């Protein structure tokens, strides 16, 4: 029916056992903290609130809007969930959504669910909330702008991480999968950003109490700004660096035991082929990444201005 | 909307339907992990794995080809793995130009690609079978017994329970958008892309507020019925001796399968 698969749902057997296990460990640790934090903040109310909110994210993913031809944009919801409910509750809500997608609809595998939760739940909630939180005392347009940037970044960061996981599993060449995933999800992220901003500005008009300073303090402290900005910077700066110079990362991965020594170094494989849209030096690609982010930021800013002028 | 529009459960009287949900969930996970652990090109073990799957299909009385038919929907996902064809170093089999790239298919790449496809195809089918022979609430209880945090399983149970309600809500919102979006033949209808995205965003915001307020009402209704932070079930979910035997049998079979795969 409406259910539209997203490229980021990694199926079973696409990740190697060590990568799956590492992702499960990270995810399990984060979720353990999230469970105890939401328990403190919400108490017995957390089950009905987060349960219905998880159903909301699931249902909201059915709201689509036509883009071109038969394609349509729709929401992933990680950033929106984190902004509205706080990062810890947002993580739990997204985890429930991803678990049901895997269990009931076979959208994403079970052994790789740790990785899927990490990419689409934990990272999106962290970046989404962190970037948005940095503008907590600012006027509304700046908050909306930050929410748009946060939503776009969360999708792109999730896609970047999943490319890294597939590459570390030895199932794709980073120079191929990373640009492909980035380009597709930079576009998907624009849809995510506009829907998130519009939804948020609607909620700000209707129920401003849900987003005022008091309720924001309950959701998560200012430390999230640091974590969110650091996570997005890490992912964004790492990806062009790694795609033009994967040797360093390969060595790190080998030292950690993620890649077996017998595997040929990935960088040797495509060295004879020039890939046009990747620069020659890491600095040029980092520069390209930053410029790209700024351009998208400017577009979202202008969109936000346009929306405010109309409303 | 009918309450079971999302349900994948198919009522039948069979051994698999009667089996304890814990055993079914664990067996499915063991089966999938076993597929992932099998080395590339372990064709005999893959074939055995497939026959296990067919046997499970037959035991479920849903028909031998039931999961095969359903798995075709999940196949497009496998296309992500196409890049492995070109990524693995090995003897070149086929080389061609596409746009600016020179693609070379290697024998090692082909081996990895077909192994990944088979593994994920077998895994998806067993997952399809699991939800076809297990009621979703039972599956959620099984997860709780398997030490998934109670809060997480409770959220999943709620998600499942209210998905139908909120889907109805989405249908109403979308129907309202349809009826507002009349168009005259020969004239351009609808606003700019940005305007359409904004309308969709307003729907999402509206849906959020309706869900949020509904969760409040649900909570108060639960509290007035004596809710104190825990969900109870009347289903005892006790393991019978046949369940233990089935679990032991599955573990043994998978163990043998792994040994054969490594010979």
Is B198 close to A176, i.e. CB distance below 8 A?
no
Yes or no: say if A95 and A31 are a contact pair by the CB < 8 Å rule. Answer: yes
Is B84 in contact with A171 (Cβ distance < 8 A)? yes
To which residue do tokens 């979910």 refer?
A: B237
CA distance A154 to A125: 8
Per CB-CB distance under 8 Å, the chain B contacts of A55 are 158-159, 161-163, 165-166, 211
Answer yes or no: do B100 and A17 touch at CB < 8 A.
no
Helix (H, G, I), strand (E, B) or coil at B42: coil
Tokens linked to B233: 């079930």
CB-based contact B252:B52 (threshold 8 Å): no
pLDDT of residue A263: 41
Domain residues for the domain of A33 are: 17-310
Which residues of chain B have a CB within 8 Å of the CB of A203? 205, 208-209
For residue A145, what pLDDT is reported? 93
Q: Where residue A5 falls among pLDDT bands split at 50, 70, 90? A: very low
Does A153 map to a domain? yes
Stretch A179-191: mean pLDDT: 82
User: Do A121 and A115 meet the contact criterion of CB atoms below 8 Å apart?
Assistant: no
Q: How many domains is chain A partitioned into structurally? A: 1
pLDDT of residue A275: 34
Give A-chain residues touching B214 at CB under 8 angstroms: 52
Among all residues of chain A, which has the CA nearest to that of B67?
A106
Q: Which of A11, A45, A97 is opposite residue B120, by nearest beta carbon? A: A11
Which candidate from A12, A52, A99 shows the least CB-CB separation from B162? A52
Per-residue pLDDT of A133-161, as tens digits, reads 888 888 889 999 999 999 999 999 998 89
Phi, psi angle pair for A274, to nearest 5°: -85, 130
At B185 the pLDDT is: 79
Q: How would you write B89-150 as a 3-class SS string? A: CCCEEEEEEECCEEEEEEHHHHHHHHHHHHHHHHHHHHHHHHHHHCCHHHHHHHHHHCCCCH
- A86 and chain B in contact, CB less than 8 A: no
Q: Verify whether the Cβ–Cβ distance B74 to A196 is below 8 Å.
A: no
Q: What is the rounded distance in angstroms from the CA atom of residue A196 to the CA atom of residue A218?
A: 21
Yes or no: say if B49 and B38 are a contact pair by the CB < 8 Å rule: yes
pLDDT along chain B (263 residues), means of 10: 71 88 93 91 92 92 85 67 71 71 77 88 91 90 88 89 90 90 75 82 92 91 84 77 92 92 85
Query: Is A6 part of any domain?
Result: no
Give residue for tokens 């990680």. Answer: A78
Residues of A in contact with B74 (CB under 8 A): 11, 106
End-to-end CA separation in angstroms for chain A = 33
Report if residue A35 sits inside a domain. Answer: yes
Say what the pLDDT of residue A219 is: 76
CB contact set of A86 (below 8 Å; sequence gap of 6+): A38, A41, A129, A218, A219, A220
Whether A77 is covered by a domain: the verdict is: yes
Q: What is the rounded distance in angstroms from the CA atom of residue B56 to the CA atom of residue B50?
A: 10
A254 touches chain B (CB under 8 A): no
- What chain A residue is nearest to B87 in terms of C-alpha separation? A173
Q: What is the pLDDT of residue B233?
A: 73
Q: Tell me the mean pLDDT in the region A285-305.
A: 55
d(CA A94, CA B67): 28
pLDDT at position B105 is: 80
Contact residues on chain A for B193, CB-CB shorter than 8 A:
67
- The CA angle A183-A185-A191, to the nearest 5 degrees, is 120
Q: Round to whole Å and give the CA distance between A13 and B113.
A: 11
Strand partners, B105: B94
Residue B119 distance to chain A (closest CA, Å): 6
Whether residues B124 and A106 touch (CB distance < 8 A) is answered with: yes
Residue pair B84/B113 in contact by the 8 Å Cβ criterion: yes
What gap in Å lies between CA B167 and CA B8, rounded to an integer? Answer: 16
Judged by DSSP in three states, B1 sits in coil
Res A131: pLDDT:
92
User: How big is chain B by its Cα radius of gyration, in Å?
Assistant: 24
For residue B114, the distance in angstroms to the closest alpha carbon of chain A comes to: 12
| Predicted confidence (pLDDT) per residue in A52-86, tens digit | 999 999 888 888 776 655 556 668 889 999 999 99
Residue A63, pLDDT score: 81
pLDDT at A245: 54
A-chain residue closest to B117, CA distance: A13
Is A276 a member of any domain? yes
pLDDT digit string, tens, across residues A223-270: 888 888 888 888 776 666 555 555 555 555 555 555 543 343 333 333
- Does some domain include residue A90? yes
Residue A2, domain member (yes or no): no
The answer, for B182 touching chain A at a CB cutoff of 8 Å, is: no
Report residue A64 as tokens.
Answer: 């689509």
Instruction: Map residue A66 onto helix, strand or coil.
Output: strand
Q: Are strands A64-68 and A71-74 parallel, antiparallel or unpaired?
A: antiparallel
User: Which whole number is the average pLDDT over A6-16?
Assistant: 78
Interchain contact, B116 vs A14, CB within 8 Å: yes
Name the closest residue on chain B to residue A196, using Cα atoms. B201
Find, in chain B, the residue whose alpha carbon is nearest to that of A15: B36
Confidence class for position A303, pLDDT limits 50, 70, 90: low
What does the pLDDT average to over A10-22?
Answer: 89
Distance (Å) of CA B17 to CA A51, B13, B14, B24:
27, 7, 5, 9
The C-alpha of B238 sits at a distance from chain A's nearest C-alpha, in angstroms, of 23
Whether A275 sits inside 8 A of B81 (CB atoms) is no
Minimal-distance CA residue of chain B relative to A268: B89
Does A3 contact B at CB distance below 8 Å?
A: no
CA torsion, ordered A52, A58, A64, A67, to nearest 10 deg:
140
pLDDT over 70 (residue A191) = yes
Residue B171 Cα, gap to closest chain A Cα (Å): 9
Q: Strands, DSSP E only, in A107-213?
A: none
Give chain B's count of helices (H) and strands (E).
10, 2
What's the CA gap between B114 and B105, in Å, rounded?
13
Q: Are B194 and A198 in contact (CB under 8 A)?
A: no
For the cut 50, the answer to whether the pLDDT of residue A280 exceeds it is no
Chain A contact set for B35 (CB, 8 A): 12-13
- Alpha carbons within 13 angstroms on the beta-carbon side of residue A203 total 28
Q: Has residue A144 been placed in a domain?
A: yes
Q: Over the range B1-32, which residues count as b (16 or more CB within 10 Å of their CB) and which as e? A: eeeeebebbeeeeeebbebbbbbbbbbbbbbb
Name the residue facing A75 among B155, B204, B218 (closest C-beta): B204
Read off the tokens for A176.
Answer: 């191929």
Mean pLDDT to the nearest integer, A269-276 = 32
CB-count exposure of residue A7 (10 Å: 0-12, 13-18, 19+): middle
The answer to whether residue A25 neighbours chain B at the CB level (below 8 Å) is no
CATH number of the domain encompassing residue A263: 1.10.1760.20
- Nearest CB neighbour to B87, from listed A10, A173, A303: A173
Shortest CA distance to A175 belongs to which of A274, A74, A33?
Answer: A274
């Amino acid at each position: 029916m409406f259910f539209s698969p997203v490229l980021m749902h990694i199926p079973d057997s696409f990740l190697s056992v060590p990568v799956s296990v590492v992702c499960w460990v990270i995810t399990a640790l984060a979720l353990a903290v999230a469970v105890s934090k939401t328990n403190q903040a919400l108490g017995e109310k957390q089950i009905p609130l987060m349960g219905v909110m998880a159903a909301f994210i699931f249902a909201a993913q059915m709201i689509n809007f036509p883009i071109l031809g038969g394609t349509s944009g729709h929401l992933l919801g990680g950033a929106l969930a984190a902004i509205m409910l706080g990062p810890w509750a947002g993580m739990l809500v997204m985890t429930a959504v991803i678990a049901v997608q895997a269990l009931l609809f076979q959208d994403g595998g079970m052994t790789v669910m740790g990785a899927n939760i990490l990419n689409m739940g934990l990272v999106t909630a962290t970046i989404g909330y962190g970037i948005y939180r940095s503008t907590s005392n600012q006027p509304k347009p700046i908050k909306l702008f930050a929410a748009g940037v946060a939503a776009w970044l969360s999708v792109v960061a999730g896609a970047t991480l999943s490319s890294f996981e597939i590459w570390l599993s030895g199932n794709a060449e980073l120079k191929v999968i990373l640009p492909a995933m980035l380009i597709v999800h930079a576009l998907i992220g624009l849809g995510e950003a506009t829907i998130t901003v519009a939804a948020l500005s609607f909620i700000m008009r209707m129920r401003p109490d849900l987003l005022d300073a008091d309720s924001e303090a309950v959701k998560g402290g200012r430390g999230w700004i640091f974590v969110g900005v650091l996570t997005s910077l890490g992912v964004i700066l790492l990806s062009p660096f790694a795609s033009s110079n994967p040797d360093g990362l390969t060595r790190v991965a080998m030292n950690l035991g993620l890649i077996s020594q017998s595997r040929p170094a990935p960088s040797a494989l495509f060295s004879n082929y020039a890939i046009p849209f990747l620069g020659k030096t890491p600095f040029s690609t980092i520069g390209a990444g930053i410029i790209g982010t700024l351009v998208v930021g400017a577009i979202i800013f202008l969109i936000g201005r346009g929306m405010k002028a109309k409303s | 909307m009918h309450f079971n529009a999302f349900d994948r459960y198919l009522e039948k009287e069979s051994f698999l339907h009667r089996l304890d949900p814990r055993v079914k969930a664990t067996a499915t996970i063991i089966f999938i992990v076993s597929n992932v652990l099998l080395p590339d090109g372990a064709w005999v073990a893959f074939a055995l794995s497939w026959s296990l799957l067919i046997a499970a299909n037959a035991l479920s009385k849903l028909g031998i080809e039931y999961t095969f038919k359903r798995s075709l929907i999940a196949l497009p996902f496998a296309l992500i793995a196409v890049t492995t064809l070109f990524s693995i170093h090995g003897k070149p089999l086929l080389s061609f130009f596409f746009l600016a790239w020179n693609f070379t298919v290697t024998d090692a790449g082909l081996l990895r690609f077909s192994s990944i496809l088979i593994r994920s195809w077998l895994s998806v089918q067993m997952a399809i079978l699991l939800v076809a022979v297990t009621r979703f609430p039972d599956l959620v209880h099984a997860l709780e017994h398997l030490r998934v945090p109670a809060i997480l399983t409770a959220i999943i149970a709620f998600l499942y329970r209210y998905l139908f309600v909120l889907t109805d809500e989405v249908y109403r919102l979308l129907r309202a958008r349809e009826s507002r979006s009349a168009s005259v033949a020969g004239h351009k209808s609808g606003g700019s892309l940005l305007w359409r995205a904004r309308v969709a965003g307003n729907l999402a915001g509206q849906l959020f507020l309706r869900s949020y307020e509904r969760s409040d009402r649900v909570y108060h209704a639960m509290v007035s019925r004596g809710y104190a932070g825990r969900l109870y079930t009347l289903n005892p979910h006790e393991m019978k001796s046949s369940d233990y035997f089935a679990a032991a049998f599955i573990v043994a079979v998978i163990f043998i399968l792994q040994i054969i795969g490594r010979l």
